[in-house]
Chain A
Amino acid sequence: MDIVVEHLTKRYGPQKAVDNVSFRVKAGEVLGFLGPNGAGKTTTMKAISCYINPDEGDVKVGGYSIKEHPEIIKKNIGYLPENNPLYQDMNIIDFLEFIAKIHGIPKYLIAERILDMVRICGLEGEKHKLISELSKGYQQRVGLAQALIHDPEILILDEPTTGLDPNQIVEIRELIKRIGKEKTVILSSHILAEVEATCDRILIINNGRIVVDGTAEELRKQAAGNEILKLGIQGGDVNDIFENLLNLETIDSVDFIDIDKQLFEVQSLKEETSVKAIFDLCVQNNYYISELTPTEKKLEDIFRQLTLH
């Protein structure tokens, strides 16, 4: 099922939480929804899962509009809300049974589905505990289990890893990756590494508008700009080497990283590469290269660049 978001706008009072956002998620894709806090991620996800009515625009899931056929869409979506609300006074099995019944899963299948969920989400040791007795990580797993129990085609996860410890984060990521092979997944986060690790495509949203739409690769390329090299040259005086580097035609600027180890940061001019020129320079002066590493811009920097305005 494809998800098509068309000119979605939602206001809270005078403030536009989401402003004319349009995008499309193809069946089977894992989309990472990124943005700083308050960017409009949650609002967009709430609209897709039929919880709030948008002021303008529409969302179509598998061709059905959220305005006309919410009941069909709700059946095909598994949604994990932000902060993972659960009935704290129920135990895990009762809670999952309630959710399964609400989804209209036939009676003879319910027990089987619950056991599947308990196994997939790693809840075996805790299954008879009250939800209020569980740690945050286990509660998050119950949240995932309730979103998955009716085997939905689409999975919408609003910040699934907040509050988890590093081991749990890795486990949940693995789980999402596994699920993502068969299902359409939209996942929101403000942690870039997480989205990079799990998603095919990244959508960055800021102040209610989409800033970037593409793969992690494309995102890097777009913001890469000039070539930056970390360069170590030995076999001569540091200052001479520095002077010589600056005199090369393709080089824009040279900085010291470490004078003692003779490490430099070399930035080339736009759309030029200085690797060959540096090599020739070393040959002419009998220097030798101890290190030459192209520095990639980190996604974090790109993210900051795009969302800090």
Chain B
Amino acid sequence: MKQILHIAYRELNSFFDSLTAYVLIIIFLGFSGFFTWIYGADVFFLGQASLDTFFTVAYWSLFIFIPALTMRSIAGELKAGTLELLLTKPVSDWQLILGKFLSTFFLIGIALTPTLFYYFTLWAIGPVDHSAIVLGYLGLLLMSMVYISIGLLTSCLFSNPIVASLTALSIGIFFHIIFDVLAANFVGFTGSVFSFLSLSTHFESITRGVVDTKDLIYFFSISFFCLYSSKMILSNRNLQV
């Protein structure tokens, strides 16, 4: 467990050292703040004390940012040769994967923390549905978990970070919209399968305030599958230099 945290901490530091973290946080806060408070369907336009707009903006921006954060996690270490350095230390393949996963997850957490001010502001100006907001954040974290795992897997598969990032994004698009569109076009069993596969279905059901075990199983199983596959690829050292 300690090893995982050491790796995650180092990785998180390197996000900050390389300015990646600052750029991510500034753009994310800029975007979400702009759309939540100033433009379009903002809080004052709607006249409701709800953060739905923020969650929609975050839902899309995280989807685009995460592949850019994960693309170098394994591929970069492999290219620099530091993967060899790490894996010849007392670190198991699982610990390495989980450490990498956690570092990005923490970074997303750090980017989301300042947005709690939106929540407090809203609380000050109107009656807020607290559980909807807590679950909205939970939904964002669960969604990030899935996309980070997908990003890690593609980073294991492709040594070129750009390829890894674009592949993660294309896989993500299926979960993000395409399954949803397909679900709308099919009826019966096929339709319900696509609807189950669509991430937005589960995300919406959580942000609506309903936490179903089905949704949790969905998020955790996709993440586990991707992390496990990454671990297997790493263990076989089937990595392309």
Contacts and interface: CB of A to CB of B under 8 A. Distances in A.
A50 interface: yes
A102 interface: yes
B90 A74 contact: yes
Contact of B84 (A46, A75, A101, A146): A46
A88 B81 CA distance: 11
Nearest to B91: A102
A49 interface: yes
B89 A102 contact: yes
B88 interface: yes
Given A74-B88, A98-B6, A89 B237 contact: no
Nearest to B99: A102
A103 B90 contact: yes
Given A98-B10, A101-B6, A104-B2, A87 B88 contact: no
A77 B88 CA distance: 8
Contacts, number: 61
A103 B88 contact: no
B69 to A, nearest CB: 16
Contact of B81 (A53, A83, A98): A83
Interface in B200-241: 237
Interface in A66-86: 71, 74-75, 77, 79, 81, 83, 85-86
B87 interface: yes
A86 B80 CA distance: 8
A89 B86 CA distance: 16
A162 to B, nearest CB: 14
A302 interface: no
A52 interface: yes
B43 to A, nearest CB: 40
Interface string B65-92: 0000000000000001110111111111
The interface residues of chain B, by DSSP majority, are classed as helix
B192 interface: no
B3 interface: yes
A279 interface: no
Interface residues of B, number: 22
Nearest to A74: B90
Nearest to B3: A102
A275 interface: no
B237 A52 contact: yes
A98 B85 CA distance: 12
A148 to B, nearest CB: 13
B14 interface: yes
Contacts of B82: 85-87
A142 B175 CA distance: 45
A216 interface: no
B90 A71 contact: yes
Interface string A30-58: 00000000000000001001111100000
Contacts of B7: 102
A99 to B, nearest CB: 7
B10 A79 contact: no
Contacts of A81: 81, 84-85, 88
A85 B88 contact: no
B237 A87 contact: no
A98 to B, nearest CB: 5
B88 A88 contact: no
A51 B90 contact: no
A110 to B, nearest CB: 12
A103 B86 CA distance: 10
B81 A85 contact: yes
Interface in B122-148: none
25 contacts: A51-B237, A52-B237, A53-B237, A71-B90, A74-B88, A74-B89, A77-B88, A81-B81, A83-B81, A85-B82, A87-B10, A87-B14, A87-B80, A89-B14, A90-B17, A94-B13, A98-B10, A101-B6, A102-B6, A102-B86, A102-B90, A102-B91, A103-B90, A104-B2, A146-B85
Given A75-B90, A87-B80, 8 more contacts: A51-B87, A51-B237, A74-B88, A74-B91, A83-B81, A85-B81, A101-B6, A104-B2
9 residue pairs, one from A and one from B, having the closest CB atoms = A85-B81, A74-B90, A49-B88, A79-B88, A85-B82, A101-B6, A102-B89, A81-B84, A75-B90
